[in-house]
């Protein structure tokens, strides 16, 4: 199963392939900024992908819209809009 790792010292998380990234983090008690609770409106749930962006689902239309609207850099993903398909390392400034 895919592993979610972190840049900062924190235990890795093992999740089934296809798990929503934001839900995986929240499920382990890791805070994820949000004001829309995963509805794809706020873009606050973005996380930096340190390694393994290819192991996340492809950008969907909503993520593309949010990326353009909020000028989000390519190394960040909108966590409520992506699924984990392989190992990935992520970070957020507030962790």
Sites of contact with ligand FES (CB under 6 A): 34, 36, 38, 40-45, 78, 80
Please say which residue, 11 or 68, places its beta carbon nearer to ligand FES. Answer: 68
- Least distance in Å: CB of 29 to ligand FES? 17
Looking at the Cβ atoms of 1 and 37, the one nearer to ligand FES is 37
Query: Considering beta carbons, is residue 5 or 40 the nearer one to ligand FES?
Result: 40
Residue with CB nearest ligand FES? Answer: 80
CB of 46 to ligand FES, least distance (A): 8
Under 8 Å between Cβ of 80 and 20 = yes
Whether 78 and 20 have beta carbons less than 8 Å apart is answered as no
- The least CB distance from residue 68 to ligand FES, in Å, is 14
User: What H or E segment, with its residue span, contains residue 6?
Assistant: strand 3-6
Alpha-carbon distance of 65 to 23, in angstroms, equals 21
Determine if residue 30 is left, alpha or beta; phi over 0 gives left, psi from -120 to 50 gives alpha, anything else beta: beta
């Amino acid at each position: 199963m895919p592993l979610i790792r972190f840049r900062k010292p924190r235990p890795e998380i093992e999740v089934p392939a296809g798990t929503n990234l934001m839900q995986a983090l929240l499920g382990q008690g890791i805070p994820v900024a949000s004001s829309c609770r995963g509805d794809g409106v706020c873009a606050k749930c973005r996380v930096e992908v340190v390694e393994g962006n290819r192991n996340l689902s492809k950008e969907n239309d909503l993520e593309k819209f949010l990326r353009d609207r909020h000028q989000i850099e390519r190394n960040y993903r909108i966590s409520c809009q992506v699924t984990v398909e392989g190992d990935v390392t992520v970070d957020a400034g507030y962790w």
